Amino acid sequence: MDIDTRSPTPSAAIDESLYSRQLYVLGKDAMLKMASSNVLIIGLKGLGLEIAKNVALAGVKSLSLYDPAPVELQDLSSQFFLSEHDIGKERASATLPKLAELNQYVPIDVVKDLTPELIKGYSVVVATDLPLSKQLELNELTHANNIKFISADVRGLFAQAFVDFGEKFTIYDQTGEECKTGIVSDIEKDGTVTMLDDNRHGLEDGNYVKFTEVKGIEAINSTPENEKVFKIKVLGPFAFQLEDFDPSWGTYEKGGLYTQVKLPITESYQDLKTQLAKPDLLTPDFAKFDRPIQLHLAFQALHQFRADHNGELPRPQNEEDALKIVKLTKSLVSKFPDYFESEDDLNVDLIKQFSYGARGDLPGMVAFYGGLLAQEVLKACSGKFVPIKQWLYFDSLESLPESEEYPRTEETCKPINSRYDNQIAVFGLEFQKKIANLKIFLVGSGAIGCEMLKNWAMMGIATGPDGKIFITDNDTIEKSNLNRQFLFRAKDVGKK
């Protein structure tokens, strides 16, 4: 399918009954920008599919998939649109039919070859499970052509994301919140504005405001033909100061309303090659403030390990492979003197845990990170909300069960030729047996409930002889439900 011939969704064609909840959050302008964006997703294992599913449901102009690799049994651990009947088939082609059912307004196709000419036709390119050398090559092309680029990996309980939206990316609305407004009590000669009746203004330093109905200083009033915007400095919860106020404009008499004005801002993003050496790291958990740089090195070491071992990942709980990952990570320490004084600053235990579970592919982790990265795609398309800048590393080691009850050794975590092997690699066989016999009662099967059911099914919860899942939800399925989950279809609207 030629992406250049696809017609964008006209404004009148936005299905408000389907997208109603999303319109509340994003607004029509953002939705129209999304409806003119072509998105390419590379890699259709669990993480790639989660991103594709969420982007398709959200509504973009077109969605293309690339993954010519054959389906393997282990893919079924988190890839919920594949089955055992698909093993051996091309991964992207096997995924397409069920993915295409999600949203009739989003055309989805499979591309066979990633040529520069093809890639230049996309607004956003997302790469998952791609070797670092390929990521660098791809990002060099996208950065040079102002194409938004996201790369990501989830390895067991560890996750990585990189975002490059180009050298000049415009953010039209940083927060998505309604603009603050209020009544003016007084405007002093130095430009200090106080609120009526001690009402909090809710503004921040650097915000912009406009005024109407001010008596005595008519020069600051905005009209539909001439909007006058002022940058402010917050003096307290009930007062702010206009930075460029001129006392010669007059003396305040009475009245006046202020309204916050959101002006576009421009952010500059560096390419992957630059950011590998000098990363901009977000800290998602301040209890683990030292983790991002440790994982920045660990993921690079993992890429090198795979390059040295014909694409293979470290074996579960294998000490030999873990020590190789540690050695490769230590070899990178000297390149980051701002973070490490010596190799002794490296958290060896953390790096080993990273290696032990690197073959893991956990439904909960890919669902969480896939949802997060799909939001980054929507930010790239719409310019609404602030994107990641530029690396986000995350780990959930707290999710590991007690080792005394569920021992994790090379023997207990080895593959058993089942669809749960990539989960056993992280938690061990005894844990898998335990969750297979759980009894769970789920109240509500809407958007969150459907995600829970999907993840439980992929994990193998209640698949044992003593396991069972009970569900209750007396609500009727509405059309807007189809935009927020993937288990219902149009034929289900009106049913309970």
387-398 pLDDT, tens digit each: 999 999 999 999
Q: Are 380 and 172 spatial neighbours (Cβ–Cβ below 8 Å)?
A: no
Q: What stretches of 177-290 show up as alpha helix (H) in DSSP?
A: 272-277
- For the chain, list residues with pLDDT below 70: 1-13
β-pair type (148-155, 158-164): antiparallel
Tens of pLDDT, residues 402-425: 989 999 999 999 999 999 999 999
Task: Locate the domains of the chain by residue range.
Answer: 19-172+269-392, 181-261, 438-495
Q: What residues contact residue 74 under an 8 Å CB cut-off, 6+ apart? A: 361, 415, 419, 421, 422
What is the pLDDT, as a whole number, of residue 478? Answer: 83
Tens of pLDDT, residues 125-141: 999 999 999 999 999 99
CB atoms within 10 A of CB 471: 13
* Model pTM score: 0.91
Fold of 19-172+269-392: Rossmann fold (3.40.50)
Q: How far apart are CA 295 and CA 162, in angstroms?
A: 13
In 3D, which of 254, 255, 238, 235 has the Cα closest to residue 198? 238
Q: Are 174 and 265 spatial neighbours (Cβ–Cβ below 8 Å)?
A: yes
In 3D, which of 213, 198, 204 has the Cα closest to residue 179? 204
Distances in Å between the alpha carbon of 250 and those of 158, 185, 195? 60, 16, 19
Instruction: Identify the CATH class of 181-261.
Output: mainly beta
Specify whether the backbone of 146 is left (phi greater than 0), alpha (psi in -120 to 50) or beta: left
What is the pLDDT, as a whole number, of residue 75? Answer: 95
* H or E segment to which residue 234 belongs: strand 230-236
What is the pLDDT, as a whole number, of residue 89? Answer: 97
Q: What residues contact residue 53 under an 8 Å CB cut-off, 6+ apart? A: 99, 102, 370, 374, 486
The domains spanning 19-172+269-392 and 181-261 adopt the same CATH topology: no
DSSP for 379-444 reads HHHH-BSPPP-SEEEEE-GGGSPPTTTS---TTTTS--SSTTHHHHHHH-HHHHHHHHT-EEEEE-
